[in-house]
């Protein structure tokens, strides 16, 4: 992670910390004034009407239900606090993600005017473009009282996959598809007849947040977060013999890279609910945090029909990373217990090891034996789901 980027991200976390502390301070003061009101409500007998706030006590709970719940069963974005309970949500999440940084993957071996590694590009990482992937998001929350709650959530996306292929237009055995390495230390990658590149990625995210919703313009949250980003990159090459005797007179080799990122840390943020009608509201959420990324990359590059090992590394590193989220949604309270949600979210992740960015074009013996953790990801997409409260 570059220092300029790191400084900006620390500043974001510092601002959120200040806002969070102010919000928690305001909330603490507000909550500290609540027991007298609660005690007054508890003294009302079951089924009696508490005159003053238009509050009635339903027979099944013997507690409070605010008059704002008359039409939909629950005020939009809030809690008709009958008694501390729980809620569970299930959403379908559709996210797109940026690809790795742009660099050359295949160059033209026929471009003899330039030295190896600087010849005309035939394919770059721009060819490895991901489509939207979907995955589930599961949310479970429990109220500690009418104003504080714990919320646990998980989402995972497993289906990001991009591939690109190229076939040489030259005669078999005279291919011009070359891996852009500086010196001629490879055989099957030099003047290949066919190249296929596959790039896959998956993400898992878990959060545990403490949220306070009372008497302020934002519901502050503080929580723990764990994110795992696993990637795999496979550079496959097929090279016919210079004078092939038959259609199967060829050799194949692979350049394999796997990266695994484990981001662990804490986040600060908030949730803002703005009612539009009795049953419909807009909700805006934000969070940010600094994390420790325990990253691993393994590299295996083989040549001469996968019989000769050129590179075989397994490296680990622990470095700082950043995750920031923004979310904008609509919530419609269909009944007292059921709400429907739809929205859009963006996530910025900085300081991760992406598989293609571990590719090394140097010809030294230890080339590629380090973890490049300066990668970043931008995720964006929509979600829709249902929440049930009890």
CA distance 314 to 298: 4
306: alpha, beta or left? (left if phi > 0; alpha if psi -120 to 50) = left
Pick the closest to residue 307 from 364, 344, 254, 260 (CA basis). Answer: 254
Task: Say whether pLDDT at 3 is over 90.
Answer: no
Does 188 fall in a domain?
yes
Residues 6 or more apart whose CB falls under 8 angstroms from that of 13 comprise 268, 288, 289, 290
Averaged pLDDT, 163-181:
90
Q: CATH number for the domain including 125?
A: 2.40.128.90
The answer as to whether 89 is a domain residue is yes
Helices (H), 33-182: 35-42
pLDDT at 163: 95
Domain count, the chain: 1
Instruction: Return the closest-CA partner of residue 225 out of 262, 188, 251.
Output: 262
pLDDT value of residue 205 = 97
Provide the residue range defining the domain that includes 71: 3-33+65-389
Whole-model pTM above 0.85?
no
Q: For residues 118 and 85, give the distance between their C-alpha atoms in angstroms, rounded to a whole number.
A: 65
Check pLDDT > 80 for residue 68: no
Instruction: Give the CA dihedral 218, 221, 225, 230, nearest 10 degrees.
Output: -10
pLDDT band at 18 (very low <50, low <70, confident <90, very high): very low
Q: Over the stretch 221-274, which tens digit does the pLDDT of each residue have? A: 999 999 999 999 999 999 998 776 676 788 999 999 999 999 999 999 999 999
Residue 386, pLDDT > 90, answer yes
Q: How high is the pLDDT of residue 215?
A: 59
Q: Which pair of structure tokens corresponds to residue 301? A: 């590059």
56 part of a folded domain: no
* Calpha distance 106→181 (Å, rounded): 10
* Average pLDDT over every residue of 132-136: 94
Q: What is the mean pLDDT of the chain?
A: 82
Percent of the chain with pLDDT over 70: 76
Over residues 85-130, the pLDDT tens digits come to 899 999 999 999 987 888 999 999 887 778 877 889 999 999 998 9
More confident residue, 181 or 92: 92
Q: Does residue 298 fall inside a structural domain?
A: yes
Per-residue model confidence (pLDDT) at position 2: 52
**Residue 171 clears pLDDT 70, i.e. is over it:** yes
Question: Does 58 map to a domain?
Answer: no
- Quick check: is 236 in a domain? yes
274-326 pLDDT, tens digit each: 999 989 999 999 999 999 999 999 999 999 999 999 899 999 999 999 999 99
Two tokens at 163? 């591939």
Give domain status of residue 43, yes or no. no
Q: How confident is the model at residue 52 (pLDDT cuts 50, 70, 90)?
A: very low
Segment 15-40 mean pLDDT: 45
Look at residue 53 and tell me if it is in a domain.
no
What are the DSSP E strand ranges found in 125-249? Answer: 133-143, 148-167, 177-178, 194-212, 219-240
């Amino acid at each position: 992670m570059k220092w300029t980027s790191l400084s900006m991200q620390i500043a974001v976390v510092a601002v959120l910390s200040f806002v969070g502390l102010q919000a928690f301070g305001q909330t603490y003061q507000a909550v500290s004034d609540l027991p007298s009101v609660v005690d007054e409500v508890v003294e009302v007998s079951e089924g009696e009407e508490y005159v003053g706030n238009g509050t009635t006590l339903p027979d099944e709970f013997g507690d409070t239900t605010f008059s704002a719940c008359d039409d939909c069963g629950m005020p939009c974005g809030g809690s008709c606090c009958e008694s501390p309970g729980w809620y569970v949500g299930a959403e379908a999440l559709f996210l797109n993600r940026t690809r790795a940084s742009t660099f050359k993957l295949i160059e033209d071996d026929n471009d003899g005017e330039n030295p190896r590694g600087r010849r005309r590009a035939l394919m770059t990482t721009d060819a490895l473009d991901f489509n939207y992937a979907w995955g589930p998001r599961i949310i479970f929350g429990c109220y500690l009282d009418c104003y504080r709650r714990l919320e646990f959530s998980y989402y995972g996306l497993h289906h990001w996959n991009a591939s690109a292929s190229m076939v040489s237009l030259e005669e078999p055995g005279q291919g011009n598809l070359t891996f852009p390495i500086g010196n001629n230390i490879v055989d099957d990658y030099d003047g290949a007849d066919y190249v296929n590149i596959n790039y896959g990625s998956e993400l898992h995210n878990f959060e545990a947040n403490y949220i306070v919703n009372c008497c302020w313009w934002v519901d502050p949250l503080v929580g723990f977060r764990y994110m795992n980003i696993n990637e795999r990159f496979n550079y496959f090459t097929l090279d016919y013999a210079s004078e092939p005797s038959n259609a199967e007179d060829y050799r194949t080799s692979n350049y394999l890279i796997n990266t695994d990122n484990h981001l662990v840390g804490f986040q600060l943020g908030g949730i803002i609910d703005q009612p539009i009608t009795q049953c419909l509201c807009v909700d805006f959420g934000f969070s940010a945090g600094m994390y420790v990324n325990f990253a691993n990359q393994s590299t295996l590059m083989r040549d001469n029909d996968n019989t000769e090992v050129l590179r075989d590394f397994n490296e680990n590193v622990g470095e700082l990373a950043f995750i920031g989220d923004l979310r904008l949604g609509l919530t419609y309270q269909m009944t007292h217990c059921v709400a429907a949600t739809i929205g859009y979210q963006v996530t910025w992740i900085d300081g991760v090891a992406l598989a293609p960015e571990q590719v090394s074009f140097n010809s030294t013996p230890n080339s590629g034996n380090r973890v490049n953790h300066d990668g970043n990801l931008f995720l964006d997409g929509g979600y829709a789901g249902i929440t049930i409260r009890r």
